[in-house]
Amino acid sequence: MPRLIDIADDDVHSLDECVERLTRRGFDPGDEASLLEAARDLRRLGNDRRFLGDILIDELKRRDQADAEKTAYGPQTVMLSRPAGEFFLRANIWPAPGEHVLRASGEAPFYFDVPHDHNFSFLTLGYFGPGYWSDYYEYDFEAVAGYRGEPVDLRFVERSRLSEGKLMLYRAHRDVHVQHPADALSVSLNVMHMAPHQGWFDQYRFDVKDKRIAGILNSGSSEAMLRVAVGLGLTEAFDLAEDFGRSHPSDRMRLAGWEALAMAAPDAGARDWLWSRAESSGNRMVACEARRQRALITA
């Protein structure tokens, strides 16, 4: 489960002070000193019981004047700082089952009941309310290839909730959780870690009952651009998709290359021929996905 961080500190820091300190020092969850300093900053921000309410009231008062490029408010997430170097701050709002927003939108926008990991680490603090519930699991990211249906050694740890004042580190590629609605409206505060390489690492959705990878949650713009370029029939795009399929450093981009080519294939026979080439391209994840696609063609 996420690492519990026990830091007792009664000092209060404003949002500006918290952002300034994190900007000056940075946030590296892999460095113990940096992690604990950031956790202390988050604890002190959480000790300010007014700052978030003041932000929301101010935003509501000037909602008709809001600059869309300068604000980032949604039904769940309130961005508390702009991305800066290695971090950004946010607040997440967690509704209870009887609330209108959950009844109207369903659970999907809040990722409730979606078993998943993260391709980034982040600190989280229960700021208000009883907190959302989670079933926590752990797994070994290095032991999986990432194809759909792949068996995973998911180890159940416990069910608990992010109660007010609880401070935890969600560890990238290790902690898996299935979130459930809070018993009453709740809010969490996060220090999110950012790194340039994160987008190339997959974030998985899991089938916890059968202990398998159910799919990849994150996708990048490069994949969409490649598919569109191939769909437009550009010769260079076909060559690039072939090259990516065989040699791109990212398994996900390799698969995207073969998927783009298969989507442009004129018939089932051509798709089967393409996926047979992908199956023997030397990448385990691509080979398993290609085998699955060939089985669908012949089914």
Q: Which two tokens stand for residue 267?
A: 């018939």
Is pLDDT at 109 greater than 80 in this prediction? Answer: no
12/221: higher pLDDT: 12
Side-chain-facing half-sphere of 182: CA atoms under 13 Å: 22
User: What's the whole-number average pLDDT of the chain?
Assistant: 92
Q: Which helix (H) or strand (E) holds 284?
A: helix 284-298
- Give percent of the chain with pLDDT exceeding 90: 80
Predicted pLDDT of residue 65: 60
Stretch (H or E) spanning 188: strand 186-193
Question: Which pLDDT score is estimated for 298?
Answer: 85
Break the chain into its structural domains and give their ranges.
3-216, 221-298
- Phi/psi for 43 (5° steps) reads -60, -45
Q: How confident is the model at residue 104 (pLDDT cuts 50, 70, 90)?
A: confident
pLDDT at 125: 98
Q: What is the pLDDT of residue 44?
A: 98
| pLDDT one-digit tens code per residue, 163-186 | 999 999 999 999 999 999 999 999
Q: What is the pTM of this model?
A: 0.87
Quick check: 113 and 178 in contact, CB under 8 A? yes
Mean per-residue pLDDT for 105-117?
86
Which burial class, exposed, middle or buried, applies to 54 when counting CB atoms under 10 A from its CB (0-12, 13-18, 19+)? Answer: exposed
- pLDDT score recorded for residue 69: 47
**Helix 284-298 with 268-279: angle, nearest 10 deg:** 150
For 217, counting Cβ atoms within 10 Å of its Cβ (0-12 exposed, 13-18 middle, 19+ buried), the class is: middle
Q: Select the CATH number that applies to the domain covering 3-216 from these four: 2.60.120.10, 3.40.50.150, 3.40.50.300, 3.30.360.10.
A: 2.60.120.10
Predicted pLDDT of residue 75: 65
On the 0-12 / 13-18 / 19+ scale of CB atoms within 10 A, 60 is exposed
Q: What is the pLDDT of residues 32-88, one digit of tens each?
A: 999 999 999 999 999 999 999 999 898 888 766 655 444 455 568 999 999 988 999
Phi, psi of 171 (to 5 degrees): -95, 125
Q: Is the pLDDT of residue 108 over 80?
A: no
Q: What is the DSSP-derived secondary structure letter of residue 64?
A: G
Report pLDDT for 294: 96
CA 210-177-159 angle, to 5 degrees, is: 95
- The pLDDT of residue 64: 62
d(CA 73, CA 95): 16
DSSP string spanning 34-70? HHHHHHHHHHHHHT-SSHHHHHHHHHHHTGGG--TTT
